[in-house]
């Protein structure tokens, strides 16, 4: 569980989005966190403390005069126990209070009294679109960020008032991702990462083509892990049925030629290239505009193939890669003799790091086992979830980048 051992103080301020806080509380706990809910008087007008108590399995705090604290210092005690304070929803009024250091209720008092260096403050704004766009709110958001708070993004869509636009609180699943990502080490902060994922589809006719069983899950996990690690990520995806990882820029392609063109377009701004896609080695020389029909002869039509360009080798042999400005990582999906094939492929492609796996054992699965091969040898990463392996691989890559500490 991604939040195992973390203790989150979940603060609720007044707003209709309080109903989402119930689901967020449950989601945080399912990821292993313990959650202490603190509500303002206004929040209790939208959702009862009883609801949050049932979900968090902890008594909810609403008053700075709560008699349960022997020293009558709930604002001190609660903040010192927290790994983070998450205010969701965070109203425009509450952000203004935080900015000026006002502390007239338990939640604002606790935020002011928290040790800034060890207890981060995360804010999930929720308000009407005009309130969000107001210059005063924008100034407050900018200053809160300068003061060290992490102001999360807002959602776009229909609002309770009937209007449509920016300002609504993001969905619980999105906020859960933000919290998980916040705690991940930012080992790729400032880096731009280009990743390919999934299969390619080489059309024979409008309904048939050459492809493979790659699901794209490993590449998408790597895109998420790199984004969590602070990178600006562009994901070039073949035809897969996967949701785009939050915060990741996605470019959809079909064929190997389209994937190569997308990579060439984005490589000049990248410092890291990770080629996880299972690119088809060949494509039909001719793709017909109409479906090829059986003619009753019992003979299959002759399918002439030509070789696709090698995307990994093309980028690895580019001037940017050769100068060290682009760090290239390859993947090898093999059916047998993984170490031998992966070692040979690394040398043939000319990349500093090659990641091997047994394709039939991982295609479509949520877990994987990897073999990392570089000039010093090979290291096994035992079977684990693809996201867990992706986070390990991201750390391995970060340690190999120019300027990384030894």
Write out the catalytic residue numbers: 161
Identify which of 326, 350, 341 has the alpha carbon closest to the alpha carbon of residue 378: 341
How many whole angstroms from its chain centre is CA 256? 25
Contact 175, 152 (CB under 8 A): yes
* DSSP 3-state of 94: helix
Distance CA 315, CA 165 (A): 41
Contact 79, 85 (CB under 8 A): yes
Pairing state between β 377-385 and 367-374: antiparallel
| Cα within 13 Å of Cα(311), Cβ side | 33
| Cα within 13 Å of Cα(199), Cβ side | 19
Identify which of 149, 108, 111, 102 has the alpha carbon closest to the alpha carbon of residue 14: 108
Q: Is 358 exposed, middle or buried (0-12, 13-18, 19+ CB in 10 A)?
A: middle
Distance CA 343, CA 271 (A): 24
Whether omega before 63 lies within 30 degrees of 0, making that bond cis, reads: no
């Amino acid at each position: 569980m991604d939040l195992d051992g973390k203790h989150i103080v979940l603060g609720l301020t007044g707003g209709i989005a309080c109903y989402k806080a119930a689901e967020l509380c449950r989601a945080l706990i399912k990821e292993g966190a313990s959650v202490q809910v603190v509500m303002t008087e206004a929040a209790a007008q939208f959702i009862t403390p009883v609801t949050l108590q049932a979900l968090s399995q902890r008594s909810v705090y609403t008053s700075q005069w709560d008699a349960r604290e022997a020293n009558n210092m709930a604002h001190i005690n609660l903040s010192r126990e927290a790994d983070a304070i998450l205010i969701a929803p965070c109203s425009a009024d509450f952000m203004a209070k935080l900015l000026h250091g006002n502390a007239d209720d338990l939640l604002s008092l606790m935020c002011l009294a928290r040790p800034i260096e060890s207890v981060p403050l995360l804010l999930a704004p929720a308000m009407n679109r005009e309130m969000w766009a107001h210059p005063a709110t924008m100034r407050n958001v900018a200053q809160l960020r300068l003061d060290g708070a992490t102001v999360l993004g807002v959602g776009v869509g229909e609002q309770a008032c009937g209007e449509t636009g920016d300002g609504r609180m993001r969905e619980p699943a999105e906020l859960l991702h933000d919290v998980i990502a916040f705690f991940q080490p930012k080992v790729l902060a400032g880096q731009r990462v280009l990743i390919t994922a999934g299969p390619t589809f080489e059309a024979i006719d409008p309904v048939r083509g050459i492809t493979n069983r790659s699901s794209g899950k490993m590449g998408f996990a790597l895109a998420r892990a790199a984004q969590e690690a602070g990178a600006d990520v562009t994901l070039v995806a073949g035809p897969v049925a996967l949701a785009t990882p939050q915060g990741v820029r996605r470019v959809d392609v079909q064929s190997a030629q389209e994937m190569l063109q997308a990579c060439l377009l984005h490589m000049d701004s990248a410092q890291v290239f990770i080629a996880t896609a299972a690119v088809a080695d060949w494509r039909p020389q001719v793709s017909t505009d109409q479906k090829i029909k059986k003619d009753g002869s019992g003979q299959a039509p002759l399918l002439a193939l030509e070789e696709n360009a090698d995307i990994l080798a093309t980028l690895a042999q580019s001037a940017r890669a050769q100068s060290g400005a682009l760090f290239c990582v390859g993947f090898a999906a093999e059916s047998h003799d993984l170490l031998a094939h992966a070692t040979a492929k690394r040398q043939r492609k000319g990349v500093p790091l090659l990641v091997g796996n047994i394709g039939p054992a991982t295609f479509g699965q949520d877990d994987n086992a990897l073999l990392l091969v570089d000039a010093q040898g090979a290291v096994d990463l035992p079977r684990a979830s693809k996201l867990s392996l992706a986070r390990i691989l991201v750390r391995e890559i970060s340690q190999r980048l120019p300027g990384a500490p030894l």
